[in-house]
Chains A and B, each alone.
Chain A
Amino acid sequence: MNKKKSIFQLLTEKPWEKDQIEADNQHQGQTVNLSKQKLGLRTIMAASTVLFSLFIVAYSDRMLISDWKNMPEPWLLWLNTSILIISSLVFHKTTKYAQNDIFDKTKNGLYFVGFLAYSFLIGQLIVWYQLMNTGHYATTNVANAFFYLFTTIHGLHIVGGIYFWGKTTSKFIKRSLKKEEINNLIDTCAVYWHFLLAVWIVLFGLMLSS
């Protein structure tokens, strides 16, 4: 297939020259050797990274103003973080099972990942409940407002992930796709899980360190 080229190489091709014409006629029409789901996920992850970075910039800027009061750090957040880490690890393991064609273990792995994702969301809601019970509303201080905002946006990303996890799992159980196709979907979901873990660790670290 087409050799890997850097963006610079791609942009300096001279499409009108004889050698280039011959090389170009061999081209298969794909720029990178990735499935459209995987490349699509990368595009979405790039956009999400920009989104979260801008939130972080806004957070850091707003922090400097004197009315800022740090929020308490409920211990439950540590539990939720470890749930997310475990779900990422399980998902990684599941992709290996899927590659080796072990149907039962893959199925159980997928179910467990879903269970952990739901537990994480419920855990986050309990944290909200605890905070509100102790009088830390979004209006009390902007630090709390940022916490609610971050957890909501991150949670919505997880909900989106659960939607695609559900579609993938049902396709896997119905065995309606070829092996490479279903593995491609499982891998794509797993990458998204790792991404959301990374985002959460950055956000959590930011809130801990400030």
Chain B
Amino acid sequence: MSDEYEHKLEAKSDYTTDASSVSAPEIDSVPEAELPDQELYHSHSWWTTYVFSQDAKYIGIQYALTAVGTGLLGLVLSWLMRIQLAFPGLGWLDPAAYYQFVTMHGMIMVVYLLTALFLGGFGNLLIPLMCGARDMAFPYVNMLSYWAFVVAVVVLLASFFVPGGPTGAGWTLYPPQAITAGTPGSDMGIILMLVSLILFVAGFTMGGLNYIITVLQLRARGMTLMRLPLTIWGIFTATVLAMFAFPALLVGCLMMTLDSLLGTSFFMPAMVSLGETLTHEGGSPILFQHLFWFFGHPEVYIVALPAFGIVSDLLSVHSRKTIFGYRMMVWAIVGIGALSFFVWAHHMYVSGMNPWFGFFFATTTLIIAVPTAIKVYNWILTLWRGNIQLSLPMLFSLGFIVTFLNGGLTGLFLGNVTVDVPLSDTYFVVAHFHMVMGIAPILVIFGAIYHWYPLITGRMMNETLGKIHFWITFIGSYAIYFPMHYQGFVGVPRRYFEIYDSPYIDTSTLLLNKFITIAVLIVGAAQLLFLYNLITSARLGKKSEKNPWKANSLEWQTPQMPPEHGNWGKELPKVYRWPYDFSVPGAKEDYIPQNQPPSEIIGAKVEKT
């Protein structure tokens, strides 16, 4: 730190809280609690403790494990697809299987892995702990939410074993294709997919109700909304988005189920299939597209906002610095959330629409880049002159910033109608959305798991294995997706189950396809290394101290670590500050936990950001 900087700090002293003139009990005093302590459910048997648990921490872990298990299947499906693309002559997959794998991979990764892991997993684990509550507002409903998710996953996986296999309509499930003969899984597979989604939405609504009420009503004393960690802001806003967006998916799924089972004509137009005139008439396929994307676009931010929030906290803790522009970060999260409901039709530029309609949606799409860019700048400014610890969570957070920026920039291209039209349906789009909502959130998830693992198990994960995992994942994802951008530019279409030597396909494409596939296999194998680390560290990992990262937020301040049932022992915590007081001048330690009374930190000067 330069002298000049020290000097500036001194000059700022009019903003400081100098508590030295007041006696300790007086400055620590907070009013008596006016609200009664939450009544807790106590489990009595093994079943209610470990299986039908009503403790949000357990439910969070259950959610996370189920989501990761399903996600592994998605990973394996991507291997199978890539092998087919690299070696088209091999006859590895037939077209039907390829489309089924594409569909299941997409749906599993977006809904059953990312949404469930961020909101169900991290939401349940962190909301009560970070807000200073004993549990969620409605623990029983919370348990139902998890089991509805399990049933949804089981129904989804069951579709692999029905006649015709799972649906192969693409994760967007557009009718009339999805429920017309000729599409793989058009009778049983699609029904199971729709039922599974309906169950997921029902289960999520129960969980979301809990997250919203807990964040709003069950916080600790002194915890105002603007003292909440950004993680909670991200998860909370994403939950609100989900509560408004999932009904659109529900409407679409219900109506398509009826079209398929009863033969109604909500979405199905009059058409001839395999030489036979179908009984449907007059339905509007484009209506489904609007409903789907009215859900589908906010869904991107349902995944992204918790990632934004979590990464902000990771960056702040691991660079020992206040988050830059806390309020602006909150506003950006809320702003992005609101705007995300006005951009859905940019997924439909080539579906045929009034040019002015496209113009409107291109404009809103570009506007949403403003709060997003603010967040990226603020992350970088948080790192600026920070005491950066290159721990695993920090490495993954840095990886996230770069990857998200990359994916975001290609979004600017695709958001413009005129640029999108030639690029749409090429590998450029595949590269874009995998960068921005595949790799970027997954990097945050890894960072968050390495960060909060000691909170769950009381042990640290292996650092060396983690570093190997990081570098393979990070460099590997670029090896996979950078070539795809190029392939998109030279016009390689997506959704083709084999691409072989022909006058229309550049020779480099074939070579790149092999290269990408090799990278995919290596990156996938690195995830097995991560799983190995995750499992073995629970038993063999180095014992963690109580607050291993020296973080301020409440989840690390529980009397026991890992926290016990009820989280807080006898007395609920009292909060005296926000969670970003790192490296405060004059303080003994370089962090001041949120619940540390002012009398214990006399002399510390709280600087204005």
Judge if B176 is at the interface, Cβ distance under 8 Å.
Answer: no
**A169 to nearest B CB, angstroms?**
19
Q: Is the CB of B35 within 8 A of A30?
A: yes
Interface residues of B in 246-273 (CB under 8 A from A): 246-248, 250-251, 254-255, 258, 262-266
- The residues of B that contact A44 with a CB separation of less than 8 Å are 205, 209
Q: Which of B85-136 contact A (CB under 8 A)?
A: 132
Known: A47-B205, A54-B291. A29 touches B262 (CB 8 A): no
Determine if A31 is an interface residue (Cβ-Cβ < 8 Å). yes
Are B222 and A54 within 8 A (Cβ)? no
B interface residues, Cβ below 8 angstroms from A:
15, 17, 30-31, 33-35, 132, 137-138, 205, 208-209, 212-213, 216-227, 243-244, 246-248, 250-251, 254-255, 258, 262-266, 279, 281-284, 287, 291, 294, 326-327, 330-331, 334, 576-578, 606-609
Interchain CB contact under 8 A, A58 and B291: yes
Pair B264/A145 contact, Cβ less than 8 Å: yes
Q: Which residues of B contact A36 (CB under 8 A)?
A: 137-138, 213, 217-218
* CB-defined contacts of B282 to chain A, threshold 8 Å: 62, 65-68, 142
Cα distance A58–B254 in the bound complex, in angstroms: 12
A138 to chain B: which residues have CB within 8 Å? 258, 262, 264
Contact of A27 among B213, B217, B223, B287 (CB under 8 A): B223
CA distance A16 to B323 in the complex (A): 12
Bound-complex Cα distance A133 to B15 (A):
78
A55-B209 contact, Cβ under 8 Å, with A29-B223, A47-B244: no
- Given known A12-B327, A29-B219, contact A62–B213 (CB-CB < 8 A): no
A–B pairs, 11, beta carbons within 8 Å: A10-B225, A13-B226, A16-B607, A25-B30, A34-B217, A40-B137, A43-B243, A54-B291, A55-B251, A68-B282, A138-B258
Are A142 and B265 within 8 A (Cβ)?
yes
Q: Name the distance in Å between B431's Cβ and chain A's nearest Cβ.
A: 32
B226 touches which of A15, A29, A32 (Cβ 8 Å): A15
For window 1-48 of A, CB contacts with B under 8 Å fall at 1, 10-18, 21, 24-32, 34, 36, 39-40, 43-44, 46-48
Residue total for A at the interface (Cβ-Cβ under 8 A)? 46
| Residue from B217, B334, B576 in contact with A25 in the complex, judged by beta carbons closer than 8 Å | B576
Q: Which 3 A-B pairs have the closest CB atoms?
A: A67-B282, A51-B247, A145-B264
Per-residue 0/1 for A52-75: is the Cβ within 8 Å of any B Cβ (1 yes, 0 no)? 001100100110011110000000
- Chain A residue contacts of B219, Cβ below 8 A: 29-31
Q: Are A145 and B251 in contact (CB under 8 A)?
A: no
In addition to A21-B577, A28-B35, A44-B209, 9 A-B residue pairs with Cβ atoms within 8 Å of each other are A1-B34, A24-B222, A24-B226, A26-B222, A32-B216, A43-B208, A43-B213, A68-B282, A142-B282
